[in-house]
Amino acid sequence: MNSDISFPSRRENRFYQGVAATFANALQAVNFLGDRFLRQSHHSLSAIEDLYRHSMDSAFSVTESFLVTGAPHASAYYPRDFAWFYPDVLDPETIMDSQDAVRRARLLEKSVRLLLEAVRADVVTTTIVPAGRGRYLGVNYFSRPSDTLLGVLAGLQQMISAEARASSYLAMSQCAHAGRLLLAEYGADLKRAILQLASELEPFDHHGTTYLLCDATAPRSAATDTRAERRRFVTNACIYTTFAWCVQLGVVDANELKSLLGRELAQYKQELLRLFGKDGYVRHSLDGPAGSPVSSVALDFVSVHRGFWDLSVASERALFAATTDLIIAEPRFRIPGTSHFLVSADNPRNKMIHKIAAPAYQGRSSWPTFNVEFADRMLDYDEFSGGDTYRAYAQGILKDIRTATEVHGGYQELLSEQGLKYRTWAYKGAVAHSWFPRFLSVWSRAFGTPLLHWND
């Protein structure tokens, strides 16, 4: 394989939603059952370099048609993942060689184009399920998404900014060119969808002040949502970040959003901070029961890479630090004896589906990827505050993730409350190949040197 990318020609894809998409649930059940019984065990590797190489060969195989997390999710596509979990696919320090660079660029382009085709077809959902012969079903498992368009923008943004990274790989500049072409081709479709999203925000009155929320009367989902809560911080932070990124990419003019929102983007964000941070820390949800502060926060407040938080602002740093300090100081937020932080201090009610088929994402489990983002936001805080308040905590998080990766034979999607592989009957030992590069990127930032070195 040479360094030149020959992007595949377009084919006719069809997207379905509504009544047709009800079959997606049954199709996904079959997919998960097939994975449960047919997937082979992972390679018996333990060295971090060998594990990484195996993961990258799996994640970016030339046979893949879309970038997916790994097993058992390879049978469905999750648009939001490009914002939450795949922001460093094209980080040159994480790329093994020129062939790896070509594979990543090609797969990212194919994936983002498919997502943009779904947007053009007005199918903006949490999950896209392939149904054969260029047919796809869009389905929302719990509620309408808050972060799907954010994921589409994130994938597009990563492509366009590829050539800005210091790299000798020709694939980077080619991917950036492909990204600009996609933006020109699908920009009008993205604009329509984003303006529609802005028009769906609802007024929320609190102590005489009116705020705008995406989930004031009905839940919208985000990456960790399995409880279908209303008035969550992370869902609204996703919406703001979507608007901010679309303005940065030139998809929508800031004045167009202002006319729909009735306020500047900066004011919209400050109102969200004032509402969710009224107690001096970031509340996970306004609908949660009254209780101790640590019972009111969740790890997903760190949001997405280069997302909601601007820690160059003193007031945001103070709010971030107060929330971070609550999590660090509460033993219930940690797997004992480690720096693995759990999603929440209190276990929400587990439904039967969480025990049999799907993980309780907001429960007593640890997401390595959210821990990586937590570490990265800590480093942001230190960078802008000019100190070393959190660097040691960030390094501890990353060291423990490395250890878990080596012990469990791969980068895990979830760890249990006891630090073991997360298992339900169907969701057995899920791996997360495509999240691995992000870990390496943040490791380099935290320690000042790459964890792995490549010769190419």
Report pLDDT digits (tens) over 396-452: 999 999 999 999 889 988 888 888 887 676 666 678 899 999 999 999 999 999 999
How high is the pLDDT of residue 161?
A: 94
Q: State the CB neighbour count (10 A cutoff) for residue 418.
A: 8
For the chain, percent of residues with pLDDT exceeding 70: 85
For the chain, percent of residues with pLDDT exceeding 90: 67
Q: What sign results for the dihedral spanned by CA atoms 366, 368, 369, 372?
A: positive
Distance CA 199, CA 8 (A): 36
How high is the pLDDT of residue 1?
A: 38
From residue 375, alpha-carbon distances to 73, 262, 296, 328, 417 in Å are 26, 35, 21, 12, 20
- The per-residue pLDDT for range 116-174, each reduced to its tens digit, is 999 999 999 999 988 888 899 898 877 889 999 999 999 999 999 998 887 889 999 99
Across the range 204-231, mean pLDDT stands at: 88
Q: Which of 19-28, 74-83, 86-95, 307-316 is predicted with the least confidence, judged by mean pLDDT?
A: 19-28
Q: Which of 278, 146, 158 is nearest to 214 (CA)?
A: 146
Query: Tokens representing 12?
Result: 């006719």
The pLDDT confidence band at residue 24, using thresholds 50, 70 and 90, is: low
Distance CA 369, CA 252 (A): 30
Say if residues 247 and 254 touch (Cβ distance below 8 Å): yes
Query: Tokens representing 150?
Result: 């954010």
Q: Does residue 254 surpass a pLDDT of 90?
A: yes
Q: Where are the beta strands (DSSP E) in 102-218?
A: 127-130, 135-139, 144-145, 202-206, 209-213
From residue 141, alpha-carbon distances to 217, 223, 293 in Å are 18, 12, 30
Q: Which of 28-32, 284-288, 319-323 is predicted with the least confidence, judged by mean pLDDT?
A: 28-32
How high is the pLDDT of residue 362?
A: 66
How high is the pLDDT of residue 430?
A: 74
Distance CA 16, CA 100 (A): 33
From residue 358, alpha-carbon distances to 29, 32, 42, 352, 361 in Å are 11, 10, 21, 9, 8
Across the range 334-347, mean pLDDT stands at: 91
Say if residues 256 and 319 touch (Cβ distance below 8 Å): no
More confident of the two residues 105 and 37: 105
Q: Does residue 220 surpass a pLDDT of 50?
A: yes
Say if residues 152 and 247 touch (Cβ distance below 8 Å): no
- The per-residue pLDDT for range 66-116, each reduced to its tens digit, is 999 876 677 889 999 999 999 999 999 999 999 999 999 999 999 999 999
Across the range 342-363, mean pLDDT stands at: 72
Q: Which of 54-63, 66-75, 86-95, 246-255 is predicted with the least confidence, judged by mean pLDDT?
A: 66-75
More confident of the two residues 286 and 228: 286
Bond before 72 cis per omega within 30 degrees: yes
Mean residue pLDDT of the chain comes to 89
